[in-house]
A and B are shown apart, each in its own frame.
Chain A
Amino acid sequence: SSELTQDPAVSVALGQTVRITCQGDSLRSYYASWYQQKPGQAPVLVIYGKNNRPSGIPDRFSGSSSGNTASLTITGAQAEDEADYYCNSRDSSGNPQFGGGTKLTVL
């Protein structure tokens, strides 16, 4: 598939570990990047490349990739991690494309 597929919603208990996945054929060739978006705010980059975190992003965020699936893992989820998460890669033309987003609820 030329699309990127994400689960619409995922929940995690406070302090537990959660994995958010992104599937698509392009992920066999390109690493994904991941963005966190809270209501009314602009997206914020949290992971890019093999597993790189921008300055200021807590180390509880990590990324991985296997086959056609990229994953964002939050180890010890906090209340402030509740947000929408979007994966990004490229389409068959080499242009950016996003997954549909995953709404993370921290219980």
Chain B
Amino acid sequence: EVQLVESGGGLVQPGRSLRLSCTASGFTFGDYAMSWFRQAPGKGLEWVGFIRSKAYGGTTEYAASVKGRFTISRDDSKSIAYLQMNSLKTEDTAVYYCTRDHTRTGSRPYNWFDPWGQGTLVTVSS
């Protein structure tokens, strides 16, 4: 069974750091890009960033709201993706989800995200 499990969430003070982990099983982790999304309480889904597979350079992209503060990395030997969050703000409070990326290129490309982990809650408050 393909599965993603996030961990590492919790209560943290503004300005502090937190690292989330996403542990994958049931598929060849290194073959896929991985994304992080978040959902603030009562709000919609927001893309945070993603990391490409090593075959595509293992490079990263980030949403403007987190660029320079958040860093995504991966350890393919352990099938884990990480989200390092620094200089946390109260507006970073959300449930954080990791997902497996799929992309189709062509005349009309598309991507999709499946599966999703169960999410881990990050609360930034003093």
Chain A residues close to B by CB (< 8 Å):
29-33, 35, 37, 42-45, 48-49, 54, 86, 88-90, 95-101
Contact = CB atoms under 8 A, between A and B. Distances in A.
Interface of B: 35, 37, 44-47, 50, 61, 63, 97, 102, 104, 108-119
Contacts of B115: 45
Chain A CB count within 10 A is highest, among B35, B110, B113, B114, for B110
Contact of B45 (A29, A30, A49, A101): A101
Contact of B110 (A32, A86, A95): A32
Q: Which 10 A-B pairs have the closest CB atoms?
A: A48-B112, A31-B110, A33-B112, A45-B114, A42-B116, A96-B47, A98-B45, A101-B44, A49-B110, A100-B44
Nearest to B61: A95
Contacts of A88: 45, 111-113
Contact of A86 (B45, B50, B108, B117): B45
A48 B110 contact: yes
A34 to B, nearest CB: 9
Contacts of A32: 110
A100 B117 CA distance: 21
B104 A49 contact: yes
B41 to A, nearest CB: 12
A30 B44 contact: no
A33 B109 contact: no
A90 B44 CA distance: 16
Contacts of B61: 95
Nearest to B99: A43
Nearest to B116: A42
Nearest to B95: A42
A35 B115 CA distance: 11
B90 to A, nearest CB: 22
22 contacts: A30-B109, A31-B108, A31-B109, A31-B110, A32-B110, A33-B113, A35-B113, A37-B45, A43-B116, A44-B116, A48-B114, A86-B45, A88-B45, A88-B111, A88-B113, A95-B47, A95-B61, A96-B111, A98-B44, A98-B46, A100-B44, A101-B45
